Amino acid sequence: MDGKFISFEGPDGAGKTSVIQQIQEDLEQQLGKEAVKYIREPGGSRISEEIRQLLFDNQNADMDPRTEALLFAASRRQVVVSEIIPALKAGKTILCDRYVDSSIAYQGAGRGLGEQEIWQINQFAIDGLMPDLTIYLDIESELGLQRIAEHRANQVNRLDKEKLAFHQTVRQSYLRLQQRHPARIKLIDASQPLPTVINDVKTTIHDRFSELF
């Protein structure tokens, strides 16, 4: 497949969505609108967005953790088949707001289901399709939660409400993943001002794909 698959990872409030918005705009300038595809996870396709609604519905606070993990994997499966693979075949650059690493960190570590177990159900879902490059936006949990509280208080969802310890566990899992897969996962200090973070991300993307930026 000719396309480029870039995922963005990091704890809540790290700045993934903010960074991707700018990266998408700049890449569209360079490559043309059709050459770039943004996907948010869970979601990104019709069926996957329906699964997303189930996952984030505040009425579903009693959802079983394994149900939750399977729904994330199911949403991912659908978006891989219906959106990601076709876009890669068409040579597009995919900017994916979360992917498998999120499940390992949140469900595997955060919910205590086991990183290995979550990796296995996700293998079934993605059938080997991993990103070429993963941008990991690293941030102290307190600062990430503070950003969400300050800027998005009206949009806090069910999973944002988990306590600080949960977020710290998630971050530690991300850091382990980065250490285990240093060639794929690149760490960016997301506590910096947004323009600096964006610049670091662009440099990192360019290091991997010299034709971008």
How many angstroms separate the Cα of 111 from the Cα of each of 8, 31, 93? 21, 40, 32
> Which of these ranges, 6-14, 48-56, 118-126, 165-173, lies near ligand ATP under the rule CB under 6 A?
6-14
Q: What are phi and psi of 15, to 5 degrees?
A: 115, 15
> CA dihedral defined by 58, 61, 66, 72, rounded to 10 degrees?
10
32 is in an annotated binding site: no
Give the strands of the sheet with 185-189, arranged side by side: 36-40, 93-97, 4-9, 133-138, 185-189
Which CB, 69 or 88, lies closer to ligand ATP?
A: 69
For position 6 contacting ligand ATP by CB under 6 A, the verdict is no
H/E stretch holding 125 reads helix 115-126
Q: Which of 1, 18, 209, 213 binds ligand ATP (CB under 6 A)?
A: 18
Q: Which of 4, 5, 7, 12 binds ligand ATP (CB under 6 A)?
A: 12
Q: Which of 2, 13, 17, 184 binds Mg ion (CB under 5 A)?
A: 17
Where do contacts with ligand ATP occur on this chain (CB under 6 A)?
10, 12-18, 147-148, 151-152, 192-194, 197
Which residues in this chain contact Mg ion in the complex, by CB under 5 A? 16-17
